[in-house]
Amino acid sequence: MKMPEFLVGFRLSPKRSLIAALIASGIAFLTTRCGISQEDLLKFYNELRKGIKFDLPDENNVLNEIDRQLNERINNDPKLLEFKVRREVDDAISRYEREEYQNRQINMKNKNILEEINKPKYDKLQKLIVENAVYYEIEDGTMGIRGAWVAPDPREIDLE
């Protein structure tokens, strides 16, 4: 007897067989009755899993097992695994950018330059570059902008 497609990939042991059957039945119902593809359903579950954070105590063995089996199913499908990794990397980059923006220190002290760079004609990257740059003046009248990583000229006047 051939195993139905929606049951393939689940490890059926006496302890887990009921949970696996419930998951498979739920997936089968949603895919056939609701017209949701199994791939879309598992993608949705992956997003739900990230948002809700199933940090369940060990007493919830059934819920932990359902989560484990669904996650294992995602991890065993190359297309779904690629989706999961791509989303996790994108989310990590977004969190990093938000944190960087919230904790940034503006090196640029020249108010005229800061006013100019805040105009809508400049994009986010240009604004970030200028905010991170250092405006300097030298006693002979020389003015300039340098990257914060560039060592200051010993003749620079302290503008703070």
Domain boundary among 54, 73, 102: 102
Query: CB-based contacts of 4: which residues, under 8 Å, 6+ apart?
Result: 24, 28
One domain, residues 158 and 129: yes
Whole-number pLDDT of residue 4: 47
Q: Which of 77, 102, 127 is the last residue before a domain boundary?
A: 102
pLDDT confidence tier of residue 56, bands split at 50, 70 and 90: low
| Among the ranges given (15-29, 85-99, 108-122), the one the predictor scored with the smallest mean pLDDT | 15-29
Q: What is the pTM of this model?
A: 0.56
Whether the Cβ atoms of residue 156 and residue 142 lie closer than 8 Å to each other: no
Q: Write down which residue in 102, 118, 138 finishes a domain.
A: 102
- Number of domains, the chain: 2
For residue 30, the model assigns a pLDDT of 76
Task: Using pLDDT thresholds of 50, 70 and 90, give the confidence band for residue 14.
Answer: low
| pLDDT mean over 78-86 | 94
State the residue range of the domain holding 153: 106-160
- Distance from C-alpha of 9 to C-alpha of 112, rounded to nearest angstrom: 63
Shared domain check, 112 and 98: no
